[in-house]
Amino acid sequence: MTILSTLPTVLAARPGFHAPGIEEFNYDCYGWSKFLGPACLNRTTILMLLVTAVVAVLFLVAFRHPRIVPAGLQNVAEYGIDFVRRQIVLEVIGPDGLRFMPYLVTLFVFIFFSNVLEITPFINFPVTSRMAIPGFLAIVTWALFNWVGIRQQGLGGYLKGLFWPPGVPWFMLPLIAPIEFVSTILVRPLTLSVRLLANMIAGHLILGVFFAGTVYLLAQPKTFVFGIGAGLMSIALVAFELLVAFLQAYIFTILTAVYLAGSLHPEH
Amino acid sequence: MNLANPLIAALSGNLNVLGYGLGAVGPGIGLGILIGKALEGIARQPEAAAMVRTTMFIGLAFVEALALFGFVLAFAIK
């Protein structure tokens, strides 16, 4: 349920305050897409396709007539690419990580736009708050850093690095080997996806509670004064969520870069 | 559940929230130490700010993950 559609409910049910819960994240399939079977479209998938289209169109339009002195949209796109290049790739991996630029830029821009849907008026739903999307992105990253590790160090070398980190004495192996293996193979993709998912769920719920609460408080004369405070706080939280949207895109991309760097330059 | 015991009776309801509150204590302390130390490092050596900030964000992501697991599990476990 969007915040807009919450308004009438809250106004009608004055005595009881309805706090938004986890059920706000479930959408049913649209009737006209039932012929697609299990792949039928709901609001989340439509929004995801919208983000994909917006990102693709943004870059296509920005670089249709590239100029040496960039202007307008090209400036924006170049700033985004330059940010990933300087702050993430060169900082974390080094010059030999530049070949992963296309993946990392796509990841950063896609996650950022998906997160920003949370505070886009009339949409107000971050598609990254459904496990499918961060989960899929984490699986792609997982496959990529494993593949790069095997290509770079050979299967034997990569597995040895996984089970036996350099400098560990042999009698510690029964303890270290399972921890290292589980933390690299299982915990990495899990934390990567859950971090993004949980941040977006939390952000959406906080905004929902604050806006619904503002309307609820403003509707009654006794609590009108508190409603003004809650309203100002809601607006501040929108700005905060913009920061979170950027920060989560940055963290997802930088951790992907850290994992790739680990596969490219193993410890000796 | 023994409802005659007032403490247990008061605690009934959504216990997950309580668990999340406890789970947020450790990461809260951790974030304080992490960001405080990073600020200290930047203040002592401002020219290393970019490097310290990048490493801080990576560490921040790991510490934060613990609190977020608690948050997700509070919803996941009924």
Nearest CA of chain A to the CA of B45: how many Å? 18
Tell me the C-alpha distance between A156 and A111, whole Å.
34
Residue of higher predicted confidence among B72 and B33: B33
Do residue A194 and residue B68 have CB atoms under 8 angstroms apart?
A: yes
A126 pLDDT tier (thresholds 50, 70, 90): very high
ipTM score for this prediction:
0.73
pLDDT, tens digit (0-9, with 9 covering 90-100), for A243-257: 999 999 999 999 999
Q: C-alpha B9: how far from its chain's center?
A: 28
Residue of higher predicted confidence among A28 and A6: A28
Tell me the C-alpha distance between A116 and A105, whole Å.
16
| Structure-token pair, residue A65 | 């007539």
- Statement: residue A9 has pLDDT above 80: no
Tell me the C-alpha distance between A2 and B46, whole Å.
45
Least confident of A1-15, A113-127, A145-159: A1-15
| Structure-token pair, residue B15 | 């216990």
Least confident of A44-48, A179-183, A213-217, B10-14: B10-14
**Arithmetic mean of pLDDT, B14-34:** 88
- Statement: residue A10 has pLDDT above 50: no
What's the sign of the alpha-carbon dihedral A124, A134, A241, A205?
positive
Q: What is the mean pLDDT of chain B?
A: 82
Nearest CA of chain A to the CA of B78: how many Å? 12
pLDDT, tens digit (0-9, with 9 covering 90-100), for A233-243: 999 999 999 99
- Statement: residue A145 has pLDDT above 70: yes
Produce one character per residue of A219-244: b if its CB has 16 or more CB atoms within 10 Å, e if not: eeeeeeeebeebbeebeebeeebeeb
Say which of B50, B58, B68 has its CB closest to residue A199: B68
Q: C-alpha B22: how far from its chain's center?
A: 9
Residue of higher predicted confidence among A14 and A245: A245
Give the amino acid at B44: R
Q: What is the mean pLDDT of chain A?
A: 88
Do residue B54 and residue A255 have CB atoms under 8 angstroms apart?
A: no
In chain A, what residues touch B50 (CB-CB under 8 Å)?
Answer: 87, 91
Tell me the C-alpha distance between A202 and A114, whole Å.
15
Question: Is residue B77 helix, strand or coil?
Answer: coil
Dihedral over alpha carbons A202, A204, A206, A210 (to 10 degrees): 180
Q: Give the pLDDT confidence score for residue A2 in this predicted structure.
A: 52
Nearest CA of chain B to the CA of A268: how many Å? 21
Do residue A198 and residue B51 have CB atoms under 8 angstroms apart?
A: no
Do residue A194 and residue B64 have CB atoms under 8 angstroms apart?
A: no
Q: Give the pLDDT confidence score for residue B30 in this predicted structure.
A: 94
The conformation of residue A64, written as its DSSP 8-state character, comes to S
Q: Give the pLDDT confidence score for residue A133 in this predicted structure.
A: 94
**Arithmetic mean of pLDDT, A202-226:** 89
- Residue B42 sits at the chain A interface (C-beta within 8 Å): no
In chain A, what residues touch B69 (CB-CB under 8 Å)?
Answer: 194, 198
- Residue B54 sits at the chain A interface (C-beta within 8 Å): yes
- Residue B18 sits at the chain A interface (C-beta within 8 Å): no
Tell me the C-alpha distance between A101 and A87, whole Å.
12
Which of B60, B77, B64 has the alpha carbon at shortest distance from B18? B77
| Structure-token pair, residue A19 | 């706090």
